[in-house]
Structure 1
Amino acid sequence: MDTSEATAAGPVEVEEAEASIVENYPHLVRLAYLTLPAALGRHRRVLAAHTLVQRALPRGRRAPDPVAADAGGPRGGPPDPAYALVRQEVLRGAVAHGAEDGWRKRAHEARGWLPLPHVWGLRLHPKAGGTDELTLDRSLSELGSPARAAFALSALEGLAEREVRQVLAAAGVADPRTAVAEAAAAAGEGGEPVRALLGGGEFDPCTVQARPTDLLRRRQHLRAAGLAVAAVAVAAVLLPLAGSDDGDPGSYAAGTPAGSASPLESSALVRADAALWEHTSRMDFTAWPARGGRKDDTELLRRALAVWSRPGERVQVSATPGTSRGLPAQPPQLLYAGDVGEAAVVVLYDGMRIVRYAEPQDGKGFAALDFARVDDADVTTGAAVVVGRVDGNTRFLTAPWVDDAQTRDLLQPDRAGQPLHVAADGVTNPVRTPGAGAPAGQCGTAWPVLQFRSSTKIVEQHSFLLTDLGDLTPVHLTYTPPPGGGSAPARQPREATGSQALLSWAHSACRLGALRGLGVRAVENWEFAEQRLPEGGAAASWVCTRTDTWRGAGQAMVQFQPPGSSPTALAAVAAQAQDTNACSRFGQHVLAGVMWKSPAGHWFLLAAGSRGVTKVSATGGVRASADGPLLAVRAERGANAKLTGRLTTGRTLDALG
């Protein structure tokens, strides 16, 4: 226990404590959520975090621990006795919760539950984060409550090590120094990147998503309630809190599929013929055969299906945006079952979604259940599935029609691809995850992508690029070159494997990081215009980067790339728009502008439209017009102009964004 000298704080009135709770409620709940043991599961941690903060209100005047009262206040601010008292009680309850077990924990949770947060028929969990948040959450899951509290106080509150020890001691932690050491080991370099992750939605129990509990099982319980009211009352306290042996993999599922008609039976799994892909016209996941060394392991398959039916508290469930987590309408298709690193992995497909189940082979720790929408996949978007991510490396399961696999770096467009070994069961060697090891929000020094070539049995010499953006399926990258001269027909999207396409993507690769975890299906770079710069400058490129998601929503971003910059220099963002069909085949016209400073120090308004634009006009801070799709006019620095274009059809086109 820390024995640092401290000045005793005066008693805190109940009204002061209440005001501190109300003012800092979201922050206190996040602190409690981070401290509570991961074994509770996210639903119970959300409810327990709110319960602990609401119970922190004292019954009368009370002084905080004199040592802890000198520690920093909310989010590292100045000391605040009222906040110190409330924080002390929140942490005391969270740490005690992690130390209790058996009947003591059930009695603790049952006491006073009626007036505090209670949810019937719903399971709550914070919004899913990206790969960085998931990695941090899994790292924290290995820590006990004292170390988790130390981690939160350091990274979230910004307290110094001495202050962390003081607050832990006041909260009843027997060995604060050990807790701080364990937290430091888990945090690594820590700092602002970790604090930013902790401030995100993955760790915010005040902004939650709701999903139903097992509806069929709930209906059965309601029917039985009239016959066994007392039994149900006891079960409501005891059954959800019953522990299980950490070494029993079956404990990952809180129940099994209800009813004999459930499609989640291992004997009902669909298995495609190994040669189906060679003679079908539907080149998607339906053509994948069942592969993997454990594809006939009935017990593993049963566990995977049982977890899908009813995930237990030791299962981390995630889904890409717009993807249902519900049961399938018919028996799913088995794509893979085998050992990948230290995990046993099962990959299933139900016609709309890829479902990946993974459990640690030693039976300890947490299992994972991931959902991703993949309807309307094709040769490219159905060419690979992520089967494992460990230490910044990713393994993929490749489609049976992939004949050749390579990796290449988008940030080195002139470097040839490197061979990627694919095992007999279709699993690749580890591939470095883009951005792995780079500070949060940064691109890093490389952007690895996959370059596959399809078998000549289905198409001649078809090579394509895929990049990993944190979802179960990698993203297809394409490229459309600039328009031809005169009356040449419009260019069509093509694979991004040529030299011109690779040079374009070198300027855009680091923009891809912002798309992680969004359920992206494909991203295209459309070089819609080339413009010779004023005052004798060379030609600059205008590129519209179009992002399409599996659920249909899309976004567009216009980038301006001046000449003479390094191959990997990021292009300037001229405009962007969300939930738009711009730059797609359903929105084939685009217009955007930027302010550009010439080498001589003069400012110009530059604008460019796609090939269907016959005139560009500027109004507002700059008034000018030009026939054709390009405009360049001298302007004052910071001038704000509105751009419009006229199309060959006579229709008016507004600038993007």
Structure 2
Amino acid sequence: MPASQRDSARTGRRLAPDQAESALVGHYGRWVRLAYLTLPADLGRHRRVLAAHGLVQRALPRVRSPKPASRVPGQSRGTPAVAPTGDGAPDDGSTVLRERVVRVLLAYDTAPSRWPFGRRAARGPRTALPVVWGLRLFPRPGGPEAAALDQALARVPTAARAAFVLRHLEGLDDGAVRAMLVAAGAAEPEAALRVSYGLDRTLGASEDLGELLRGAEEFDACSLRARPTDLRRRRRRFRLALAAAACATAGAVAVGTAVVGRSEPPAPREARVPGPEQLVHASNDTWADTAKVDFSAWPARGSRTSDRDLLGRALDTWADPPSDTRVTTSAGARTEPVAAGVRLLYAGEVDGRAVVLLHAPERLVRYTEPTSSDGRPTLDFTEADGADVTTAAAVAVSREDGRARYLTAPWVAEAQTRDLLRPDSPGEPLDRTSDGVTSPVPLPPTAAGTGGGGCDTWPVLQLRSSVRIVEKHSFLLTDLGGVSPAHLTYTPLPDGEVPSRQPREATGPAALGAWARTACGLAELDARDVRAVNVWDFAEQDLPEDGGRAVWACTRATTWRGPGEIQVRLRTPAESPTEPARLVAGDRDTAACGRFGQHLVAGTVWEGESGRRYALAAGSRDVTRVALSGAAEASEDGRTLQERLPAGDPRPRLSADLRDEEARPVVCASWTAGCDGADGPG
């Protein structure tokens, strides 16, 4: 943004010290909540709490002595003390101070690490920010909705988080949010607004989000719980400090070893963390001689598997992440160190960063650090319990400039890339190093990465397993932002009395055709914890007025923890084979559309060429009767129903009978936009 535009947005905005202090005190709790929600989640809750308080307090203008200046008699002494409101009356100064809060939040995220004014200023006790010794402070735990919101916010840029919170917490309209971001120095305020609306679609009904932001204790950085820090480590460090002071008094010279990419020497390794020499190394052929083909069968690969200094830093960081380390954790992943059974999968250099990949019971741990002085270390945890030949086939080791490199499993004999939005185009060969690291692969579009923009391509990996473990087995993986790509599968339409079909690899013509019209919907998923995504074609139906044949499909994204997110879609005839299918409804944290949720009925409103509107409904293979009640009355034996709707906005009740009278289907309808696991939405 041009500097002149930013300056013009701030013209006339000046607060007297007493007005600024009064506004800050009056709105302090709400603005600390705003700051806590806007700050990056990778700070950790303790540092995030302290940074939120510190940055809000920093927004208070400094008091400067006025400079004498000559002026013409009658000349104005300057700009008004407070900014006028929209109706011309001055406000209480809260608008100006809120703008300053947003400005320091955006500056925090974009400033380089220049002590004492850069990002480190909010990370440690080196400036006049709040400092707490011997205690860890945390907001009170919230419910699953608050946790899901916090995770969704963590995946979008700071300006988008600010726009989202300003809209829902502060109640500002789009124009006010845009003006606030412009005045605060946001580079792309329009893109931030678009991404914030993408969060609305991801999280659900917008009228509930404001209440969640205001009411969830998870986001209240003024109501805190206190816990002690690691007492053993504190005692050890105190003894080390005394020993160092004694050595200095005696005239000893301490010699330190400079560690590239680390701003501080590592803390003493905890006894519960293995040393580099204790890491488990699988043999090169373990994967071909075991029935458990998963991460435990990976051999240690990479050019730095013998670099004890690098491995030691990775293990030390796992035990006690330094303040400059960016830590991310997928939902449910355990982060506590373990003393034994940690396997080394990879240690090498990729795109200017050293990468260490470890496998511990039920999880993957990825550590990276810059090979130069720029940048900071990262530590990522993700679930890996129950991984198999497909979900343990690749791990992302680098993401940079819209491209990613992957470390492929030792059983991957061939790697290709293909575009889901070009189902008729064959895969293209993908080069790999001798260690299994791929060439850069374009990342798919996501809600955060495109600012809510278009979806013109969806690159995926197509891998083939070695014939030493399975014959002619190819499968697709897609990058949804997690450490491991998600496995894509397809379940075709039921075939008469044949037993229920199981998900199969999405490499055939029918599967690729279904995914071509579904892929762009992946950008709307809460996807970092996703293990696999399946498209299940559960019914087909003739459309009224000779509208052609339509297919009902349920897309299920299953997480490593077990629960999943579903999207029910209707694929109507289209001119383009990649036209996105109509989204009917969706649900979260559900077993529907999976192995333990095979009973489904869905309904939507469809408009014919005549302009008449119809209710369409269809159920899965065990549905014997579909019915509408309420504003529209109809029922049909079988698995499908269509009924012309009366004028107005009828919201009928949808229900279905099953062969097994004790079972009840999940009911999804477009007029409720959601799914219900009992008798259907009312």
Query: Structure 1 length as normaliser, TM-score?
Result: 0.77
- Kindly indicate whether residue 30 of structure 2 is the aligned counterpart of residue 18 of structure 1: no
Equivalent residue in structure 1 for 2:269, among 257, 263, 267? 257
Deviations 1:328-356 (Å, cap 9, x if unpaired)? 25241000000101101010000211111
**Counterparts of 1:365 and 1:252, CA distance in 2:** 14
How has the CA–CA distance of structure 1 residues 613 and 99 changed in structure 2, closer, same or farther, with 3 Å as cutoff? closer
* C-alpha displacement of 1:197: 9.7
CA contact (8 A) 1:340 1:387 kept: yes
RMSD: 4.6
- What CA distance in whole angstroms lies between the structure 2 residues aligned with 1:342 and 1:361? 6
Cα 1:88/1:645, change in 2 over 3 Å: closer
Query: Structure 2: which amino acid aligns with 1:478?
Result: T
Which segment is superposed worse, 581-590 or 422-431? Answer: 581-590
Counterparts in 2 of 1:223 and 1:80: CA distance versus 1, 3 Å: same
Change (3 A) 1:321 1:190: same
Conserved 8 A contact 2:623-2:639: yes
Change in 2 beyond 3 A, CA 1:99/1:481: closer
| Partner residue, 1:241 | none
What amino acid sits opposite 2:579 in the alignment?
Answer: A
CA contact (8 A) 2:584 2:604 kept: yes
Shift, 1:83, TM fit: 4.6
The answer on 1:578 being equivalent to 2:588 is yes
Q: Residue 409 of structure 1: CA displacement? A: 0.5
1:271 match? 281
Deviation at 1:602, TM superposition (A): 1.6
**Identity level (%):** 40
- 3-state DSSP class of the match of 2:135? coil
Residue 193 of structure 2 corresponds to: 192
Deviations 1:114-151 (A, max 9, x none): 9xx888135789945578637999xxxxxxxxxxxxxx
> 1:68 Cα deviation (Å)?
9.1
User: Residue 51 of structure 2 aligns with which residue?
Assistant: 48
Q: Which residue of 2 aligns with 1:532?
A: 542
Distance 2:356 2:491 in 1: 37
User: Structure 1 residue aligned with 2:135, among 77, 95, 120?
Assistant: 120
Q: Any idea what SS the aligned residue of 1:274 has?
A: coil
2-side partners of 1:344 and 1:337: how far apart?
Answer: 7
Deviation digits for residues 558-579 of structure 1 (CA, Å, limit 9, x no counterpart): 1111123421111112232222
SS state at 2:517 partner = helix
Q: Is the 8 A contact 1:593 1:608 kept in 2?
A: yes
How much has 1:223 moved relative to structure 2? 9.6
Question: Which range is displaced more, 314-323 or 190-199?
Answer: 190-199
Q: CA deviation at 1:73?
A: 8.0
Segments of structure 1 that go 5 or more residues without pairing to the other structure are: 138-153, 165-179, 232-243
Of 659, 666, 675 in structure 2, the residue corresponding to residue 648 of structure 1 is: 659
Which of 393-402 and 489-498 deviates more?
A: 489-498
- Which residue number in structure 1 is paired with residue 163 of structure 2? none
Counterpart of 1:492, as a letter, is: Q
**Secondary structure of the equivalent of 1:255?**
coil
Measure, in 2, the Cα distance between the counterparts of 1:324 and 1:120: 22
Distance in 1 (CA, whole Å) between partners of 2:104 and 2:595 is: 59
Partner of 1:146: none
Please state if 1:405 is matched with 2:415: yes
Q: 2: distance between equivalents of 1:354 and 1:498?
A: 31
Q: Which amino acid aligns with 2:128?
A: E
Contact 1:263 1:332 in 2 (8 A): no
One-letter amino acid of the structure 1 residue matched with residue 607 of structure 2: K
Look up the SS of the partner of 2:481 in the other structure. Answer: coil
Q: Match for residue 610 of structure 2?
A: 600
CA 1:210–1:554: 2 relative to 1, 3 Å: farther
Aligned counterpart for 1:324 among listed residues 322, 334, 355 = 334
Q: 1:290 corresponds to which residue?
A: 300
Residues 405 and 451 of structure 1 are in contact (CA less than 8 Å); yes or no, is this contact kept in structure 2? yes
Aligned equivalent of 2:459 = 448
Deviation at 1:489, TM superposition (A): 2.7
Runs (5+) with no aligned partner, structure 2: 67-76, 109-114, 140-146, 161-174, 204-212, 244-255, 669-674, 676-682
TM-score between both structures, scaled by the size of structure 2? 0.75
Deviation at 1:309, TM superposition (A): 0.8
Whether the 8 Å contact between 1:394 and 1:432 is mirrored in structure 2 is yes
Distance in 1 of aligned mates of 2:100 and 2:352: 39
Whole-Å separation in 1 of the counterparts to 2:240 and 2:515: 65
Using a 3 Å threshold, how does the CA distance of structure 1 residues 589 and 155 change in structure 2: closer, same or farther? same
Q: Is the 8 Å Cα contact of residues 632 and 650 (structure 2) preserved in structure 1?
A: yes
2:253 is matched with which residue?
none
| Paired letter, 2:597 | G
Q: How much has 1:537 moved relative to structure 2? A: 3.0
Residue-by-residue CA offset, 1:143-165 (whole Å, 9 max, x unaligned): xxxxxxxxxxx99773587x66x
Deviation of 1:547 after TM superposition, in Å, equals 1.5
Matches within 5 A, 1:89-104: 98=117
What amino acid sits opposite 2:33 in the alignment?
P
SS in 1 for 2:635: strand
The residue aligned with 2:507 is: 497
| Gap change, CA 1:212 and 1:82, over 3 Å in 2 | closer
1:67 & 1:245 partners in 2: Cα distance?
A: 56
Q: C-alpha displacement at 1:264, in angstroms?
A: 2.4
Map of 1:238 onto structure 2: none
Confirm or deny: 8 A CA contact 2:15 2:93 kept in the other structure. Answer: yes
For 1:323 and 1:460, how far apart are their aligned partners in 2?
A: 33
Mapping 1:170-209, distance limit 5 Å: 192-193=193-194, 206=219
Partner SS, residue 18 of structure 1: helix
- 2:374 is aligned with 1:364: yes
Return closer, same or farther for 1:640/1:188 CA change in 2, 3 Å cut-off: closer
Task: Give 2:231's aligned amino acid.
Answer: R
